[in-house]
Amino acid sequence: MALLTLAAVFACKINTDLDQPVAIDIVLPDSGRVEVTDTFRPRARALNGIGDSVQAELSWASLDTAVLAVLDSTTGVSISKTIGSARLQARTGNLFSNPQTVTVLARLDSIRVLGAARATVFAADSLSDSLQVQAFALGGAIPANRRVVFTKTTFPASDSMVTLVPKDTVFTNPSTGVAVVQVRLGTGPVPDSVVVTATMQHVNRTPVQGSPLTFVVEFRP
């Protein structure tokens, strides 16, 4: 019984040392993604045994320096060097964080319309030809699985049931870097036209050169 009591007191003393970091919490910007040649700044904090932040000097290191290099070990600011995956790690004293994976993507260069920017649809057909956006990346890399957002505006404004197929957010084809949508006309009045705008952003949310692109789909009875 005395031994159990002593163990409980000892555990209590350990847990009340609130200045002692026992873990490092890391947050990566942009879901851990960055484009080639962009800088990347993670955030981290040391935690005590009850999950509260405690003061601690943190130092950063890249475990894959060929892909991602740390420029400032005190802030974690890093620069991406080539496409691939890299691991970042923070430490304070002898306490190390779990390595965090950073994905380095091809740097987007520009987008343009592939094929026709105007299409004519007879109402009986209901589905337009493909509206295609070609994305380009620096160095000839294929910008695979990159997001393109499409929005539509109906003229004249009406209750026409117009939808984008497959949906309004499409990812570029891994083999070609092309994103494709079609305009589908549902029930209701037939509009004169639908203007579709395609936008694309870098990982850091700045617009890609050429964005936005505009398509016009005209409907005939």
Best-predicted range by mean pLDDT among 15-19, 69-73, 189-193?
Answer: 69-73
* Residues 134, 113: Cα–Cα separation, whole Å: 6
pLDDT tens-place string over residues 112-126: 999 999 999 887 778
pLDDT tens-place string over residues 23-42: 999 999 999 999 999 999 99
Full DSSP string of 179-220: EEEEEEE-SSPPPSEEEEEEE-B-TTSPBPBT-SEEEEEEEE
pLDDT at 13 > cutoff 90: no
Domain boundary among 72, 105, 138: 105
Q: Are residues 84 and 135 in the same domain?
A: no
Helix (H, G, I), strand (E, B) or coil at 145: coil
- CA-based nearest residue to 217, from 177, 170, 160, 175: 160
Q: Which domain holds residue 81?
A: 20-105
* Residues 39, 34: Cα–Cα separation, whole Å: 8
DSSP 8-state class, residue 22? -
The pTM (predicted TM-score) of the whole model is 0.81
Domain count within the chain: 2
Mean predicted lDDT score pLDDT of the chain: 90
* Residues 217, 184: Cα–Cα separation, whole Å: 10
* Residues 144, 220: Cα–Cα separation, whole Å: 36
- Partners of 151 in beta bridges: 197
Domain boundary among 54, 87, 105: 105
Q: Does residue 12 form part of some domain?
A: no
